[in-house]
Amino acid sequence: MKFTSEQHIELHGFNNLTKSLSFNMYDICYTKTKEEREAYIDYIDEQYSADRLTKILTHVSDIIGAHVLNVAKQDYVPQGASVTILVSEGPVVEVPDEAYDESPGPLPDNVVLQLDKSHITVHTYPEFHPDEGISTFRADIDVSTCGEISPLKALNYLIHSFETDVMTIDYRVRGFTRDKDGNKLFIDHDISSIQNYIPDDVKDQFDMVDINVYQENIFHTKCKLREFDLDNYLFGYTKDELSPEEREEITERIQDEMEEIVSGVTLHSGTIFEDEEEEMEK
């Protein structure tokens, strides 16, 4: 069944569809020494503390038109943070046309729409490779809603809230609702790609690929940053302080890390580079 942005579906009761967005972002950094790794993790913990993550998720609640019922947040030792927000139905107002459009959401602007019994969560995972000098920060954000607006409308804001090298985005519509004649509706809006909810200026920065199962209302998009500047991946110094050989080696390591995350395949299992092997032998 096709719906235009102007159509309002007359339902029998409440909209029981569950729309779930899973947004995973990765930030990668080269940290040569233990001190650099610890400094990077301290930086990440400060930048993405439970308090700041709570502010981000609160803005998401505003975008999807939700009332916050409860907030549970925690900064972990030695690193990482989690926030879970339970939200309930916001004030029911006229649904704007863009609620059904495949278009990016605000950054943020208050959008008040019908919503009920939903949740928003974020968990962070700073970690590092034991040998190869790569540190990686991952944040997992899940937005699950019931009602007339898709959580994809929060995607634009989420992308702008994190510094990301790789993104994996999943969207799924589950369950069904009924129209006034009792017919089941398994989705209440048109969608051909998650990419349509990402602004053009952001898409220009990433290489993207879709894996979609339309008949199951499952949508998946992978994104890898297109342009590479080594200075953006060094912590505490610049590439000008490195020899040409070091620049080449570090660039290869970082790009391999990004490719492994995107492909889900380990490219160099157990690799130890020559300089580190010599150091270990000493």
Catalytic center residues: 118, 123, 146
In the chain, the N- to C-terminal Cα span, in Å, equals 69
113 closest CA partner among 56, 142, 83, 153:
153
Pairing status of strand 184-185 against strand 206-213:
unpaired
| Secondary structure letter of residue 66 according to DSSP | E
C-alpha closest to that of 41 among 162, 130, 136, 166 = 136
Q: How far apart are CA 117 and CA 66, in angstroms?
A: 9
Cβ atoms within 10 Å, residue 30: 21
Angle at 171 between CA 159 and CA 225, to 5 degrees: 35
Q: How many CB atoms lie within 10 A of CB 207?
A: 11
CB 19 within 8 A of CB 99: no
From CA 129, how far away is CA 31, in angstroms rounded? 10
Using CA atoms, how far residue 250 sits from 13, 30, 124, 209, 229, in Å, is 58, 7, 25, 26, 12
Please, what is the Cα angle at 160 between 53 and 158, to 5 degrees? 50
Specify the DSSP class assigned to residue 95. P
Cα dihedral across residues 151, 154, 155, 158: positive or negative: negative
